């Protein structure tokens, strides 16, 4: 038995992220993928079936992976299958189910070979080929590892060479196994203005399914992100936790099944609901990636893995800059004209933010967009509101020295629109049933190449009107009812998949021509926040709920999966908290305003202006720093969150009063995290309201002190929000 575990490539930064070796004596292969902290280990049995045998902290010596061995006493030998095929020996939830060209429903997948490529210092790609011994049917499993970030993306490709079409009944992206004594699932539910409501529960025998069947605005009730703790609920700094998300902007399905041997099987992918997919011979079906990370020292580390990965490898321009802005949605709604907008441009300048963002309501003539009942689809400037078009607003913006961005919702149509009358066959609706509306609108069939062209043109024409257009807010307010595409005739089961693929095609086209224009991913709030879409977007809109107290919770939950730079946070009139509190909460991400600037009192205005300047000085730490959740709003009267610059020379700590009962406040010091224990820091309160004296008295403290003893941010009813800056004292 020869063990071949030498690194194939060695660099100054890292040894190879993945190795592969085999023990030919029993025709058994062990394949392992290592990242800085973790390892994923696959192993074949003597009949060449591939199994997950380990996902967890990596071993000191890779030789040990081979000793893990398969699990005895499994009736099928495939409870831990790396990609569970349906219809042969399997007794559990499958990852893949197929009806072959001859009508047979069975599938068996055997290991053929595997290949490992090092794509960069950080990234490796492992491909594992599987084949059915009885049918010309093949699956390739892909594992893309990000060594430094401890993240893996996993997906599959399915292809066959049978005589005729086959039907894919199920086609997961990933099939994983975790081994613990007990499993604690944290997942999310929600609705409009109610995004990211967490629930944590101990998994019991059977299957827990997280899914969406909404088509568009797919996360309205539930996003695909979730985490599983092993043995007990993980905390910020302790415990084993797995965090995962499907990179797909449509229907998803994740099954979490405890098998008869108490392994947790996780199978995640596109939801096969109403979607048996006909696959032609030689056509390759590729599933979207499922991204995940694992930490054995708490959720904080896992979330920072995802943040690092997202900023470096997924989110558009994740390491770049972002524009602060003034948005007019809540200050005008649909009621504006050129004069009002020009005044808002001046307000933008006065406020000191980078850009003015014109929201919904600027288009439609025969059916003017004066409320949400009409106009969607008719993307020509409304001549009454904007007699001189967008170009004129853009020109004024230039004169005023601010950038200009605009809202669109190009996937949708109001029945009261020219588009609806002209292209009824583009509209998703059932031919023999009544139309049913979500926000008085319907969805266009984005699976249709003509609709894709149309949506692309909507965007492209805006850049023709304003070549300097600085920003797009891409909204998507409706779910899909009455799913039916005229184009698909009697093969409607491709409908949902075609839609998302169509959306990505358009976004790819847009990004080809406009690679870096910032775009906000919005969906009636946070109805479409996922990494499938975020590779084309610079930021997302977490929720229309901008009540700052609510936002602390909503942003807190998103932050387990998404970095602060991607979170567009606007100061609005929602909520009862003081103005400073609202601004401070919005600073924990990408700052924007959606308030009537000219109605602000002098003090508020002064505060806003200085807050924008303060933000410009600290935003780099928030965007690119490591985030530490110091005190949870669920368990404490005061919530604290900190961002620490990668070189640990600066940190910004945000503290908010959560409990408004008599005399509540921060009674004890809060311990900082992630600082350099050997450095000293000047600690001072920033972003003070004009005339207010700091509640927190500045001083110099050792990093060691700050992390072991901590500081009391002095939050109370009179100082409900306190931002503290820590700067290395040299
Ligand atoms: C829903 C978005 O979430 C809001 O911010 C706003 O853009 C409206 N749509 C406009 O209709």
**CATH number reported for the structural domain that contains residue 129 in this entry:** 2.70.98.60
Residue-level pLDDT at 194: 98
Residue 448 lies in a domain: yes
How many angstroms separate the alpha carbon of residue 373 from the centre of ligand 1? 14
Provide the sign of the torsion angle of the four alpha carbons 585, 591, 592, 593, taken in this order.
Answer: positive
- Whether 7 and 28 map to the same domain: the answer is yes
How confident is the model over 215-270, as pLDDT tens digits?
999 999 999 999 999 999 999 999 999 999 999 999 999 999 999 999 999 999 99
How confident is the model over 303-344, as pLDDT tens digits?
999 999 999 999 999 999 999 999 999 999 999 999 999 999
Residue 70 lies in a domain: no
What is the radius of gyration, based on Cα positions, of the chain? 27
Residue 72 lies in a domain: no
- Whether 94 and 220 map to the same domain: the answer is yes
Residue 68 lies in a domain: no
Atom 1 (ligand 1) nearest CA: 524
| Residue from 220, 325, 359, 569 to probe ligand 1 pocket by mutation (most atoms less than 8 Å from CB) | 359
In three-state secondary structure terms, 128 is strand
- Residues 417-422: what's their mean pLDDT? 98
User: Ligand 1 atom closest to Cα of 544?
Assistant: 3
DSSP-assigned letters across all residues of 634-660: TT-SEEEEEEE-TTSSEEEEEEEE---
Q: Are 295 and 309 in contact (CB under 8 A)?
A: no
Does the pLDDT value for residue 621 go beyond 90? yes
How many angstroms separate the alpha carbon of residue 540 from the centre of ligand 1? 12
- Whether 618 and 631 map to the same domain: the answer is no
Residue 320 lies in a domain: no
User: What does the alpha-carbon distance between residue 461 and residue 477 come to, in Å, rounded to a whole number?
Assistant: 22
How many angstroms separate the alpha carbon of residue 360 from the centre of ligand 1? 7
Domain of residue 594, CATH code: 3.20.20.70
- Residues 529-538: what's their mean pLDDT? 98
Residue-level pLDDT at 562: 99
How many angstroms separate the alpha carbon of residue 250 from the centre of ligand 1? 20
How confident is the model over 111-138, as pLDDT tens digits?
999 999 999 999 999 999 999 999 999 9
User: What does the alpha-carbon distance between residue 730 and residue 713 come to, in Å, rounded to a whole number?
Assistant: 23
Residue 478 lies in a domain: yes
- Whether 97 and 131 map to the same domain: the answer is yes
How confident is the model over 149-191, as pLDDT tens digits?
999 999 999 999 999 999 999 999 999 999 999 999 999 999 9
pLDDT class of 15 with cuts at 50, 70, 90: very low
User: Ligand 1 atom closest to Cα of 523?
Assistant: 3
pTM of the model: 0.96
How many angstroms separate the alpha carbon of residue 271 from the centre of ligand 1? 27
User: Ligand 1 atom closest to Cα of 473?
Assistant: 7
CA 391 to chain centre: 34
- Whether 299 and 338 map to the same domain: the answer is no
DSSP code for 452: H
- Whether 704 and 556 map to the same domain: the answer is no
Q: Could you list the residue range(s) of the whole structural domain that residue 576 is in?
A: 325-622
Give exposure, 685-710, as e/b (b: 16+ Cβ within 10 Å). Answer: bbbbbeeeeebbeeeebbbebbbeeb
User: What does the alpha-carbon distance between residue 248 and residue 530 come to, in Å, rounded to a whole number?
Assistant: 7
Q: Are 607 and 690 in contact (CB under 8 A)?
A: yes
User: Ligand 1 atom closest to Cα of 594?
Assistant: 5
How many angstroms separate the alpha carbon of residue 409 from the centre of ligand 1? 9
How many angstroms separate the alpha carbon of residue 560 from the centre of ligand 1? 25
- Whether 555 and 592 map to the same domain: the answer is yes
User: What does the alpha-carbon distance between residue 641 and residue 622 come to, in Å, rounded to a whole number?
Assistant: 11
Length of the chain: 730
Atom 11 (ligand 1) nearest CA: 360
Atom 10 (ligand 1) nearest CA: 360
Residue-level pLDDT at 28: 85
What backbone torsions phi and psi does residue 219 show, to the nearest 5 degrees?
-95, 10
Residue 67 lies in a domain: no
Does the pLDDT value for residue 13 go beyond 50? no
- Whether 446 and 466 map to the same domain: the answer is yes
Identify the residues whose C-beta falls under 6 Å from ligand 1.
329, 359-360, 407, 475, 477, 522, 524-525, 541, 544
How many angstroms separate the alpha carbon of residue 510 from the centre of ligand 1? 22
Does the pLDDT value for residue 11 go beyond 80? no
- Residues 96-104: what's their mean pLDDT? 98
Residue that finishes a domain, picked among 280, 314, 348: 314
What is the share, in percent, of the chain residues with pLDDT greater than 90? 95
Atom 2 (ligand 1) nearest CA: 524
How many angstroms separate the alpha carbon of residue 197 from the centre of ligand 1? 20
Contacts of 482 (CB under 8 A, 6+ apart): 428, 429, 430, 433, 435, 436
| Residue from 362, 369, 407 to probe ligand 1 pocket by mutation (most atoms less than 8 Å from CB) | 407
Residue-level pLDDT at 19: 35
Residue-level pLDDT at 721: 98
Q: Which two tokens stand for residue 662?
A: 């008599």
Residue that finishes a domain, picked among 583, 604, 622: 622
How confident is the model over 660-718, as pLDDT tens digits?
999 999 999 999 999 999 999 999 999 999 999 998 889 999 999 999 999 999 999 99
pLDDT class of 69 with cuts at 50, 70, 90: confident
- Whether 615 and 645 map to the same domain: the answer is no
Residue-level pLDDT at 3: 31
Residue-level pLDDT at 27: 44
What is the share, in percent, of the chain residues with pLDDT greater than 70? 96
Let me know if 55 is exposed, middle or buried by CB neighbors in 10 A (0-12, 13-18, 19+).
Answer: buried
Domain of residue 636, CATH code: 2.60.40.1180
- Whether 549 and 638 map to the same domain: the answer is no
| Residue from 369, 477, 539 to probe ligand 1 pocket by mutation (most atoms less than 8 Å from CB) | 477
Q: Are 523 and 503 in contact (CB under 8 A)?
A: no
Residue that finishes a domain, picked among 574, 599, 622: 622
Residue-level pLDDT at 55: 98
Q: Are 270 and 252 in contact (CB under 8 A)?
A: yes
pLDDT class of 70 with cuts at 50, 70, 90: confident
Q: Are 583 and 608 in contact (CB under 8 A)?
A: yes
Atom 4 (ligand 1) nearest CA: 524
- Residues 537-543: what's their mean pLDDT? 98
| Residue from 360, 439, 476 to probe ligand 1 pocket by mutation (most atoms less than 8 Å from CB) | 360
Q: Please name which of 537, 456, 444 lies closest in space to residue 499, comparing C-alpha atoms.
A: 444
Does the pLDDT value for residue 16 go beyond 90? no
How many angstroms separate the alpha carbon of residue 176 from the centre of ligand 1? 38
Q: Please name which of 539, 403, 380, 543 lies closest in space to residue 469, comparing C-alpha atoms.
A: 403
How many angstroms separate the alpha carbon of residue 408 from the centre of ligand 1? 10
How many angstroms separate the alpha carbon of residue 325 from the centre of ligand 1? 15
What backbone torsions phi and psi does residue 81 show, to the nearest 5 degrees?
-50, 140
- Whether 289 and 410 map to the same domain: the answer is no
Residue-level pLDDT at 260: 95
How many angstroms separate the alpha carbon of residue 304 from the centre of ligand 1? 30
Atom 6 (ligand 1) nearest CA: 329
- Whether 690 and 675 map to the same domain: the answer is yes
Mean pLDDT of the chain: 95
pLDDT class of 71 with cuts at 50, 70, 90: confident
Q: Are 346 and 400 in contact (CB under 8 A)?
A: yes
How confident is the model over 442-489, as pLDDT tens digits?
999 999 999 999 999 999 999 999 999 999 999 999 999 999 999 999
| Long-range residue pairs from 490-496, CB within 8 A, at least 24 positions apart, any chain | 491/278, 492/274, 493/274, 493/275, 493/276, 493/277, 493/278, 494/275, 494/277, 494/278, 494/447, 495/274, 495/275, 495/447, 496/215, 496/250, 496/251, 496/270, 496/271, 496/273, 496/274, 496/275
For the chain, the domain total comes to 3
pLDDT class of 95 with cuts at 50, 70, 90: very high
Secondary structure of 219-273 in the HEC alphabet?
A: CCCCCCCEEEEECCCCCCCCEEEEEEEECCCCCEEEEEEECCCCEEEEEEEECCC
User: Ligand 1 atom closest to Cα of 372?
Assistant: 11
User: What does the alpha-carbon distance between residue 480 and residue 64 come to, in Å, rounded to a whole number?
Assistant: 50
| Rounded-to-5 percentages of helix, strand, coil across the chain | 20, 30, 45
Residue-level pLDDT at 674: 98
Residue 366 lies in a domain: yes
């Amino acid at each position: 038995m020869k063990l071949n575990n030498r690194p194939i490539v060695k660099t100054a930064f890292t040894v190879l992220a993945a190795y592969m070796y085999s023990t030919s004596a029993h025709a058994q292969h062990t394949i392992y993928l290592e990242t800085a902290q973790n390892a994923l280990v696959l192993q074949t049995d003597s009949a060449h079936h591939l199994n997950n045998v380990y996902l967890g902290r990596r071993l000191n010596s890779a030789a040990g992976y081979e000793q893990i061995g398969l699990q005895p006493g499994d009736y099928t030998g495939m409870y831990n299958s790396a990609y569970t095929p349906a219809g042969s020996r399997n007794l559990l939830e499958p990852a893949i189910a197929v009806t072959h060209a001859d009508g047979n429903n069975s599938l068996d997948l055997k290991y053929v070979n595997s290949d490992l490529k090092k794509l960069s210092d950080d990234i490796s790609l492992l491909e594992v080929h599987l084949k059915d011994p009885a049918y010309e049917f093949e699956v390739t499993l892909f594992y893309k590892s990000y060594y430094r970030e401890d993240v893996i993306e996993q997906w599959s490709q399915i292809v066959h060479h049978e005589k005729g079409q086959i039907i894919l009944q199920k086609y997961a992206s990933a099939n994983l196994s975790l081994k613990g004594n007990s499993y604690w699932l944290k997942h999310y539910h929600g609705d409009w203005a109610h995004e990211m409501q967490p629930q944590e529960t101990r998994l019991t025998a059977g299957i827990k399914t997280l899914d969406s069947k909404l088509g568009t605005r797919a996360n309205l009730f539930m996003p695909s992100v979730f985490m599983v703790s092993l043995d007990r609920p993980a905390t910020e700094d302790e415990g084993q936790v797995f965090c995962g998300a499907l990179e797909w902007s449509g229907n998803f399905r994740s099954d979490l099944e405890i098998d008869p041997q108490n392994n947790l099987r996780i199978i995640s992918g596109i939801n096969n609901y109403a979607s048996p997919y006909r696959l032609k011979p030689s056509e390759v079906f590729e599933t979207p990636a499922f991204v995940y990370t694992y930490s054995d020292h708490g959720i904080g580390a896992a979330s920072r893995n995802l943040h690092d990965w997202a900023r470096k490898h997924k989110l558009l321009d994740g390491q770049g800059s972002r524009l602060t802005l003034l948005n007019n949605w809540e200050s005008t709604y649909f009621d504006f004209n050129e004069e009002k907008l020009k005044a808002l441009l001046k307000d933008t300048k006065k406020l000191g933010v980078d850009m003015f963002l014109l929201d919904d309501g600027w288009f439609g003539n025969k059916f003017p967009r004066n409320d949400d009942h009409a106009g969607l689809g008719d993307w020509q400037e409304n001549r009454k509101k904007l007699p001189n078009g967008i170009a004129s607003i853009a020109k004024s913006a230039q004169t005023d020295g601010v950038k200009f961005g605009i809202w669109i919702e190009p996937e949708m149509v109001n029945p009261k629109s020219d588009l609806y009358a002209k292209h009824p066959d583009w509209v998703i609706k059932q031919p023999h049933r009544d139309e049913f509306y979500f926000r008085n609108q319907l969805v266009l069939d984005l699976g249709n190449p003509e609709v894709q062209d149309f949506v692309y043109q909507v965007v492209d024409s805006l850049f023709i009107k304003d070549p300097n257009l600085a920003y797009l807010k891409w909204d998507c307010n409706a779910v899909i009812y009455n799913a039916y595409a005229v184009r698909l005739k009697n093969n409607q089961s491709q409908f949902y998949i075609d839609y998302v693929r169509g959306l990505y095609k358009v976004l790819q086209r847009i990004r080809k021509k406009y690679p870096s224009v910032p775009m906000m991913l919005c969906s009636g709030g946070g109805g479409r926040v996922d990494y499938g879409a975020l590779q084309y977007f610079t930021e997302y809109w977490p929720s229309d709920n901008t009540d700052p107290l609510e936002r602390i919770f909503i942003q807190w939950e998103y932050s387990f999966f998404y970095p602060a730079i991607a979170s567009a946070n606007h100061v609005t009139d929602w909520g009862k908290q003081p103005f400073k509190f609202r601004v401070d909460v919005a600073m924990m991400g990408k700052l924007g305003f959606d308030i009537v600037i000219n109605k602000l009192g002098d003090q508020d205005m002064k505060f806003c202006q200085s807050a924008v300047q303060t933000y410009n000085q600290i935003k780099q730490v928030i965007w690119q720093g490591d985030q530490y959740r110091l005190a949870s709003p669920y368990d404490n009267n005061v919530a604290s969150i900190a961002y620490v610059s990668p070189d640990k020379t600066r940190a910004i700590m945000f503290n908010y009063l959560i409990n408004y009962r008599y005399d509540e406040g921060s009674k004890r010091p809060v311990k900082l995290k992630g600082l350099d224990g050997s450095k000293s820091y000047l600690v001072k309160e920033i972003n003070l309201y004009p005339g207010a004296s700091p509640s927190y008295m500045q001083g110099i403290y050792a990093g060691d002190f700050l992390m072991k003893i901590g500081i009391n941010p002095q939050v109370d009813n009179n100082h409900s929000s306190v931002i503290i800056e820590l700067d290395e004292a040299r």
